[in-house]
Structure 1
Amino acid sequence: MIFDIHSWITASNLAHQHSRHSCSQLGTHFTGFFSAELLNSAGFVIVDELPSPPMDVVMQLGLGQLLSPNAVGINLDDTYYLKPKAVGQLRVHFHKLVHVLQWQALGPGPFIKRYISEVIKYGYRQAPLEEQAYGFEERFVADPRDPFLILAKDTI
């Protein structure tokens, strides 16, 4: 099952490669929070509808709550997808970049497995990987002029 999800992620990212924006354009806002290397390698895609794995896979895993119509973004490895209304929200980009670091720290298979098990066990908002991303996001929002460098090793 994890292999199927990872294959879907790879295919989704390849299909949207032509629309991918580099996160390096966020450097003026995120210098000191994220490395230039991360900002250069990560990217985002603006979409009207967020990519979604096949519904049978989602339901089989018990992850229907992740497909909320209120969701504004989804991470797929080093690329995240945003609805147009979220593109100008720095806090959303920040949160998504924390997830990119989590993917890097854990690796694709272990990240997917851990993320799914945490959401099933705790629910979306209380899942530890989400709690961490929200925590860093809130710290950024509290004072965006007081950088604290986040590295992949800080996210596991």
Structure 2
Amino acid sequence: MLEQIENWIDSTNLKYSSQKVSCDKFSNEFDGFYPTEFLKNAYYVVVDQIPKPDFVGLREMGLGDFVDMDAAGITYKNTYYILPHVATNLRVHFHELVHVAQ
């Protein structure tokens, strides 16, 4: 299951690669919180619907709430996906960057 999820994440990040925006655009806003080099290697994508894996196995493991969760953003590796209505909200970007760092 973990390999399936990992492959899904990689393919999702690849699918949206042409839409990625580098977070180094937040260098001034997040100065003192995130190093510039970190921000250069973190990206976000504005999407109309948050991409989430929906494998039968996830639901069988009791993770249906995650799959069905109504979220404004989600992070996969060094890329996070956000909805248009929060795209200009620096708090959301800051929050998702915490997940990138994790």
Alpha-carbon deviation of 1:86?
1.2
Q: Which one-letter code corresponds to 2:69 in the other structure?
A: S
Distance 2:36 2:57 in 1: 36
Three-state SS of the structure 1 residue aligned to 2:27 is helix
Bigger share in strand: 2
Which residue in the other structure is 2:97 paired with? 97
Match of 1:63 in 2: 63
* TM-score (norm: length of structure 1): 0.62
Closer, same or farther in 2 for the Cα pair 1:62/1:27, shift >3 Å? same
The answer to whether residue 32 in structure 2 is matched with residue 32 in structure 1 is yes
What percent of counterpart residues are identical? 40
Map of 1:6-155 to 2, 5 A cutoff?
Answer: 6-66=6-66, 67-69=68-70, 71-102=71-102
Give CA deviations for 1:2-52 in whole Å, capped at 9, x if unaligned. 111010000000000000000001111101100111100000000000111
Query: Unaligned regions of 5+ residues in structure 2, if any?
Result: none
Distance in 1 (alpha carbons) for counterparts of 2:17 and 2:7: 15
Larger of the two Rg values belongs to structure: 1
The one-letter code of the counterpart of 2:17 is Q
**Residues 92, 4 of structure 1: alpha-carbon distance in 2 compared, 3 angstrom cutoff:** same
Q: For this pair of structures, how many residues does the alignment match?
A: 101
1:53-74 CA deviation, whole Å, 9 max, x = no partner? 02413312322222323x1011
Amino acid in structure 1 at the alignment position of 2:33: F
Q: Distance in 1 between matches of 2:90 and 2:13?
A: 22
RMSD: 1.1
Gaps of at least 5 residues in structure 1 are: 103-156
TM superposition score normalised by structure 2: 0.92
Higher helix share: 1
Distance (Å, rounded) in 2 between the aligned partners of 1:4 and 1:41: 24
4+ residue runs over 4 A deviation = none
